[in-house]
Amino acid sequence: MALVLNEEQRLLRDTAQDFLQREAPVAALRQLRDSRDDTGYSTTLWQQMADLGWASIILPEAYGGLDFGFTGLGVIMQESGRTLVASPLFATAVVGASALLLAGTEAQREHYLPLLAAGNLTLALALEESHHHSPHRIEARVERRGDDLVLNGHKTFVLDGHSADYLLVLARDPERTDTGQDLTLLLVPRTSAGIDCQRSLMVDSRNAATINFTDVRIPADAVLGRPGQASDALDQILDRGRVALAAEMLGSAEEVFDRTVAWLKERVQFGVPIGSFQALQHRAAHMQTELELSRSVVLQALAAVDDNPTQVPLLASLAKANLNELVKNISNEAVQMHGGIGVTDELEIGFFLKRARVTMQIFGDTGFHKDRYASLCGY
């Protein structure tokens, strides 16, 4: 497995870098935050991203996709991490698209994926029910009443949940509890009667929602795939999300490191740049070595999604645990090296620090993935 990008992937990376630095710098996130934008991202920017093919990059050509592979998606996620761009890319083009590909029927894929590819459909996974990531501990219930299904339950930390067109809701079917196959994935319009959706303004100025479902009536064909068969697909969907998120976190860490090194060269103390102090050089060198290791981990995980699926669970947890620690340590060091100004709103370093603290919790913190990795290895 080559841990380098090919020519097409490098071209895609350069294109994404130029576009995002021009159209979606960190200043754009600051503007969204300060204006309390109702959507939380620029719909114009999202359409531009879809026009570039980013919404469909992992989709097969039969559904209007580019079929560029997960490594191609990874370089876009990495560049989006460098500018902290707010968009439905992760919730829709990574998690939502993966859910339709892995769990949906052929009819569902043919109907929804072309809309997603064109930027005309946004999705959000409604999974978490507590403050800790526990994907199979679900209490939301879906029951049959006549020809329809009725959904009741509570979901929290639903990324882009307040603005998505459809919610991908994981619920338990009491009629199937005895079989051990009772988790069902539902595709529910966000505006359905009985849905109470409250937007959460996160510390990183990004979007999440708390959602209550009270006797929400949905048609039987709202089930994604087959009833009670969501468990296996769920793990694959989440692993794809974890790998993509690790790529975004890598981009953020790279940007923070570059900004910090530039600051060490610029800031003068005692008549010399502080970058001349050996203690700070050692700390910067340590960050550099950790970044190099993380690049290899992320590239291996991205490539495995396309080329070696059996290794994805291990590599997804390895990548997420590694990148959780990387963004925590590098953002901490960046603030320390910038001094007090590093945590003020004047500099953008604080935006990266806050984003790091949120992404560390999405789809599992370090403890969750260390435990999962050990379990997968038989310990």
- Asked whether the beta carbons of 123 and 168 are under 8 A apart, the reply is yes
Decide if pLDDT at 2 tops 90.
no
Fold (CATH) for 126-228: Butyryl-CoA Dehydrogenase, subunit A; domain 2 (2.40.110)
Q: Which of 362, 299, 231 is nearest to 13 (CA)?
A: 299
d(CA 320, CA 294): 10
Answer left, alpha or beta for residue 355, where phi above 0 means left and psi between -120 and 50 means alpha.
alpha
- Asked whether the beta carbons of 145 and 121 are under 8 A apart, the reply is no
pLDDT computed for residue 4 by the predictor:
83
| Count of beta carbons in the 10 Å neighbourhood of residue 376 | 13
Q: What is the pLDDT of residues 80-137, one digit of tens each?
A: 999 999 999 999 999 999 999 999 999 999 999 999 999 999 999 999 999 999 999 9
Model confidence at 322, pLDDT cuts 50, 70, 90, reads very high
Q: Which of 279, 256, 276 is nearest to 266 (CA)?
A: 276
Beta bridge partners of 169: 126, 186
Is residue 203 packed enough to be buried (19+ CB in 10 Å), middle (13-18) or exposed (0-12)? exposed
Compute the average pLDDT of residues 241-269.
Answer: 96
Which stretch of 97-106, 298-307, 343-352 has the lowest confidence by average pLDDT? 343-352
- Rg of the Cα trace of the chain? 21
Which stretch of 27-36, 219-228, 241-250, 290-299 has the lowest confidence by average pLDDT? 219-228
CA contacts within 13 A on the Cβ side of 282:
3
Decide if pLDDT at 162 tops 60.
yes
Q: What is the pLDDT of residues 207-236, one digit of tens each?
A: 899 999 999 999 999 999 888 889 889 999
DSSP letter string, 276-320: GSHHHHHHHHHHHHHHHHHHHHHHHHHHHHHH-GGGHHHHHHHHH
Longest dimension (CA), the chain: 80
Beta bridge partners of 196: 212
Fold (CATH) for 231-376: Butyryl-CoA Dehydrogenase, subunit A; domain 3 (1.20.140)
Decide if pLDDT at 197 tops 70.
yes
d(CA 379, CA 374): 5
Decide if pLDDT at 199 tops 60.
yes
Decide if pLDDT at 1 tops 70.
no
Give, as one character, the DSSP assignment of residue 91: I
Beta bridge partners of 218: 149
- Asked whether the beta carbons of 330 and 287 are under 8 A apart, the reply is yes
* Amino acid type, 323: L
Where are the domains positioned within the chain?
A: 7-122, 126-228, 231-376
Average pLDDT, the chain: 94
Compute the average pLDDT of residues 271-288.
Answer: 94
pLDDT computed for residue 146 by the predictor:
87
Compute the average pLDDT of residues 351-362.
Answer: 96
Helical packing angle, 7-23 and 43-51, nearest 10°: 160
Tell me the CATH number for domain 7-122.
Answer: 1.10.540.10
Compute the average pLDDT of residues 68-89.
Answer: 96
Model confidence at 366, pLDDT cuts 50, 70, 90, reads very high
Q: What is the pLDDT of residues 27-40, one digit of tens each?
A: 999 999 999 999 99
pLDDT computed for residue 147 by the predictor:
87
Q: What is the pLDDT of residues 17-66, one digit of tens each?
A: 999 999 999 999 999 999 999 999 999 999 999 999 999 999 999 999 99
* Amino acid type, 102: L
Decide if pLDDT at 179 tops 60.
no
Check for a shared fold between 7-122 and 126-228: no
Compute the average pLDDT of residues 175-187.
Answer: 79
Residues 6+ apart with CB under 8 A from 289: none
d(CA 156, CA 212): 9
CA dihedral (42, 48, 49, 55) in degrees, to 10, reads 100
Decide if pLDDT at 14 tops 90.
yes
Model confidence at 170, pLDDT cuts 50, 70, 90, reads very high
pLDDT computed for residue 44 by the predictor:
97
